[in-house]
Structure 1
């Protein structure tokens, strides 16, 4: 087996293990890891989007069987995200002569979304506590959000559609924070199920869009999946034995450092 093929299997195994262990971090880790291995950024993003869609499909099926998906919320998010993803792909394909012309947009988007993902992971417990307190106290802004939930959900879907298509990052962890903020009364397992299902839909459409521009390396994608799928199972099995308050800061700090690399270097 070639060294490059083994390295892609190893990369898939590492990311799969982290995803299984923490439930987040797939796109946040895969795209930066591939670029550090010498893969062009547009190819890393396009391949990672389809990788995310395929690797998360199993989780979405399990959540569906356990009725952990709020389909109304999923489809409302998709109402904004799917058209936004398609239009973003159209803009990249028709407004720029080639991938090098919009590389700076992809790099900036990736750095920004890594930063957002890192902060979402690190601050999620505090945000959840504050949202719960404000829900109980009938906070004014909370009441306004409740009155405009559908419009805000579609708007956040649009934002997710654009940024995920440009960076391959955020469909999971940032999507969870959006749902926690907009739907604080929704059980966490249903937030996760809804987010995973929406992420599958969004990354599939965005990935197919990148595929139409030749940004998907199918050979590499196959080896990433070979490495990741078994490790997702192993990581998931071990996740119950490790404390979340230890795992979260490590992952958040890693993404924070990676974001600085793409923003400033």
Structure 2
């Protein structure tokens, strides 16, 4: 990969890291569409590389949340028991479909693009409707699931998310957090964030390893993105209190919607 392209990817990692730090939205919702739409990276390579990117960055985040004691490991185990088998099964299916041989414009490439687009739009819904959902849950405590039903629902819900993440690299962040809020409304915001990040580490690591076996992981691209994203996340986190959350979510939702439309055009 030429050096000047490396600099562009470093800058992209910086921009995405900044937005993640400002909004808390998962990097996959931003990084994968950016690589696919703006830089023309094959959808399969963008997904595989972003999964490795997420495993590393979320691993660092988990360490911080572990030190702050904001991870509910019991819920993490339930989430993982659904998402990990689903991810492994999806990898086997992708392998049987010979995904690494799918060129741009092929049926598999189009399928991955549509999957990314759908997951991006689900992220947009989570961004826009989260306040209303939280308010509804608070005013309807009787609608909350019982413990036994909640456990089964958690496993099933995150099995679906595990499949989505493996195919598109999107869903472990905003969508996963939204599901947690709905299923565990008594959990504090910091615990929701820590639990969601912690469960995403084994999921994205397993999915990334599977994509490595499929030949859809670009290590040069991964290194450039990490080089830019780490300082970006740090700066964004410090600036997050200075920028109105409602404004950021509106801009982000509009941008993601435009990207989702571009992906399938």
State the TM-score bracket (shorter-chain normalisation).
Answer: over 0.9
Q: Distance in 2 between matches of 1:151 and 1:69?
A: 20
Residue 56 in structure 1 maps to residue 58 in structure 2: yes
SS at structure 2 position matched to 1:240: helix
* Partner of residue 123 from structure 1, selected from 129, 137, 140: 129
Tell me the TM-score normalised to structure 2 length: 0.94
Tell me the TM-score normalised to structure 1 length: 0.94
The C-alpha deviation readout for 1:31-53, integer Å capped at 9, x for no partner, is 11111202111000000000011
Q: Are the aligned partners of 1:96 and 1:102 in contact in 2 as well (CA < 8 Å)?
A: no
The C-alpha deviation readout for 1:114-169, integer Å capped at 9, x for no partner, is 0000110111111111111111xx23xx34x5551011000011101100000001
Shift >6 Å, 4+ stretches? none
How much has 1:239 moved relative to structure 2?
Answer: 0.7
Q: Distance in 1 between matches of 2:119 and 2:97?
A: 23
Q: Which position in structure 1 is the counterpart of 2:120?
A: 114
Q: Distance in 1 between matches of 2:97 and 2:7?
A: 37
How much has 1:25 moved relative to structure 2?
Answer: 3.6
Residues 25-174 of structure 1: pairs in structure 2 closer than 5 A: 25-35=26-36, 36-96=38-98, 98-100=101-103, 101-135=107-141, 138-139=142-143, 142-143=144-145, 146-174=147-175
How much has 1:104 moved relative to structure 2?
Answer: 2.3
How much has 1:103 moved relative to structure 2?
Answer: 1.6
Aligned pair count? 259
The C-alpha deviation readout for 1:194-241, integer Å capped at 9, x for no partner, is 001111221111111101111110011001100110111000011122
Structure 2 spans left out of the alignment, 5+ residues? none
Q: Are the aligned partners of 2:26 and 2:172 in contact in 1 as well (CA < 8 Å)?
A: no
Q: Distance in 1 between matches of 2:102 and 2:69?
A: 41
Query: What is the alpha-carbon root mean square deviation over aligned residues?
Result: 1.4
